[in-house]
Every structure is written in C-alpha cells, then in structure tokens.
Amino acid sequence: MTTAISFEDVSKTFTVRGRRIDALRSVDLTVDSGEIFGIVGYSGAGKSTLLRTVNALERPTSGRVVVDGVEISSLTGRELYAARRNIGMIFQQQFNLLRSRTVFKNIAYPLKLAGYTAEQIVDRVEELLEFVGLSDKALAYPSQLSGGQKQRVGIARALATGPDILISDESTSALDPQTTGEVLELLTRINREQGVTIVLVTHEVDVVREIAHRVAVMDGGRVVETGSVYDVFSNPRNPTSRRFVSSVLRHVPSAETLDRLRARHPGRLVQVRIADDDGAGTVLSRVARDHGVDANVIYGGVDELQGRTFGTLTVELVGLPSDVDDALDGLRAVTTVSELTGTRVLEAAHA
C-alpha cells in the first residue's frame, strides 16, 4: 500500500491577541492511497487545521506535510498551484459556490483556470453532472437548489480536474440525515469507482462509521488514537475515543446508569466484550450453566461494522463466589472481561 499523505511531526501555532494557541501538536499520521480516512474530534481539536495543511491553506509552524511524495508545505507559486490541482476540496459553509453563476459555470470554473478548452470543459462538466445526478440542473443557480444538491455541485467541482485526493471539511454537517446518507453514498462511489483517496473531517461519528476505512481521533491538537474504524469503534482505548463512540453506540452504561443497575442487581457485575463472532455469547451461557451460576444480561448491545460484529454486554452473575470465579475464568479464555468493582472497571484480557 502506497502512502498518499504523510504528516511528519506537524505542529501549528497561532497568536491571537497576544495569546499563543497550539492548534496542532507533533502530529504524526499517514493516509494510504485509495482509502477513506476519517478525522474526528470535538470543536477546537485541530482537525480542520490539520486538513487544511494538506493543500497548504495552512502551513505548519514546524514539521512536514508530504502529499504524493512531495513536501507540499514547502511549495510556492506555480509548483503549489500544480500540486493543488491534484487535491479537490469540499467545503461546509454555503458549499463555497459562486451564487451569480449557474451550476454548469460553477463546475467549469476550475477547468477554465486549468486551461481546458471550451470543448473539453463542456464534455467534462456534462460527465460530472451525470455522475452526481444533476444533469437537469446545469442552468440552475445555487439559490434554486436544495442543500444536498448544492453539496453535490461542490463535489462535482472538486472532482473537475481529476484529483487523486479529495479532502472534505464537515461537508455533511448542514444536511439532514437522508441527504447526508445520499452524499456519503456518492463519496463511497467516488472512492470505489475512481480510486480517489478521501480524507474527511467531521464531528459526526456516524459519518466515519458509515464510510471510512480508518480513523484518527484528535484532542487538544494531538492525534490520541488511530486505527481501523472497526478497531476504534469496537475497542476504543482513549477516553476521547470512548466518549465519541458512546455517543452513537449505547453498549456501555454511563456512571449514572450503572448506579441504577447496581441498585436493582446485587449480583457480581461484569462487562463481556463481543467481537467477530468469537463465541463469547454462547460461552457465557455454557460456563454459567456448567458452574451453577445465573447469568443475566442487564445492559449492552451488539452491532455490525464492515461485515464484522462487536459489542459489550453488562452481565450480572449470581452464585457462590468460587463458582462465579470459575465461570469468569472460562469466559476469559475466549474474550475480554471487565469486572465492575465499586466505581472502577478492572479489565482482564483473555489469553
């Protein structure tokens, strides 16, 4: 797998009213060619600043940003313009369309700047309009379009010069759920059919869950966790990652919910991780039965992501302490079991 984008010890510092703000802190990250890579984080995490270094709209204070083997952070003038032609960008605010120009002319604009002939422009714009499903809107103005249609025009324009890389900054945040789904489906098609590498910044965890292959979680200007979407969602290791995942997946009870569960279930409470049909659910029933322990699932859920299952079950085990210990040993042989002891979670990974 070749590398499309490499962030090498990238830091970015702003000074606002005499106050130093570290927007990026020693970021090391790679994006592989042909993948959809998500960058998530809360407001102020630095994700948009990082994205804007890809096409040198922001330049790092220190470190290097390498795109397709070229250190774009060091380019200027014509060299920078040539490099940017290979990087399409999808915007959030008003989709960055020219309001006084038709859909056709909005998409044609970067082609004119790139020196395409009139005939080439017509052919390319018609091709793109068909691809994004807006062939009947060529002569419409942005004010006559819905939010989803405007975003599709923005995507078509970003693809106009045939870039290998597409960067997306909160491109679905202003859209309703149905329209968001349509835009995500279009981005997936672009990646699948054209092999375009896509880097998308979002605070919407569902967006990453839906289409990304890998994800980086940012907090305070740093990348605090990175991995496949499955790994980060099924077993988040950083507190920020866990908060993000728990906002869309209700597998693990909050502290308040756990207190209520304890009040109703006096037995020994444990959390059992379910992953990739590892048989933990079946083993739970068997080991409980074999050791004379009652196992009651009192919270949790199982989801599917990228064709793989994962989840967490909070289970009450009722029986003699020694029997419960033996049952837990049987569970730990196949999966991760976390004991809920007081206010702490004691993790015990399986062998």
Domain ends where: 204, 221, 246?
246
CATH number at residue 22: 3.40.50.300
- Same domain for 320 and 178, yes or no, is no
- Same domain for 104 and 45, yes or no, is yes
Domain ends where: 215, 246, 277?
246
Residue 200: strand pairing partners: 38, 168
**What distance in Å separates the CA atoms of residue 100 and residue 237, rounded to the nearest whole number?**
49
Average pLDDT, the chain: 90
Check whether 345 has a pLDDT greater than 50: no
- Same domain for 318 and 279, yes or no, is yes
Coil, strand or helix at 140: coil
- Same domain for 176 and 277, yes or no, is no
- Compute the average pLDDT of residues 153-177: 90
Confidence of residue 149 (pLDDT cuts 50, 70, 90): very high
Paired tokens of 73: 């952070």
CB of 274 closer than 8 Å to CB of 301: no
* Closest among 123, 172, 120 to 148, alpha carbons compared: 172
pTM of the model: 0.86
The share of the chain scoring above pLDDT 90, in percent, equals 63
CATH number at residue 287: 3.30.70.260
Query: Could you count the other beta carbons within 10 Å of the beta carbon of residue 18?
Result: 5
- Same domain for 166 and 59, yes or no, is yes
Query: Could you count the other beta carbons within 10 Å of the beta carbon of residue 242?
Result: 16
**pLDDT 10s digits, 261-303:** 999 999 999 999 888 766 677 788 888 899 999 999 999 988 8
- Same domain for 40 and 160, yes or no, is yes
**What distance in Å separates the CA atoms of residue 64 and residue 71, rounded to the nearest whole number?**
7
* Closest among 196, 178, 179 to 187, alpha carbons compared: 196
SS (H, E, C) 307-340: CEEEEEEEEEEECCHHHHHHHHHHHHCCCCEEEE
**Structural domain boundaries, residue 328:** 255-348
Confidence of residue 318 (pLDDT cuts 50, 70, 90): very high
In the chain, the number of structural domains is 2
Confidence of residue 348 (pLDDT cuts 50, 70, 90): very low
DSSP letters for 142-177:
GGGS-HHHHHHHHHHHHTTT--SEEEEESTTTTS-H
Note the pLDDT of residue 346: 42
Paired tokens of 293: 């322990």
- Same domain for 242 and 259, yes or no, is no
- Same domain for 139 and 67, yes or no, is yes
DSSP run (H or E) holding 222: strand 222-228
Domain ends where: 189, 220, 246?
246
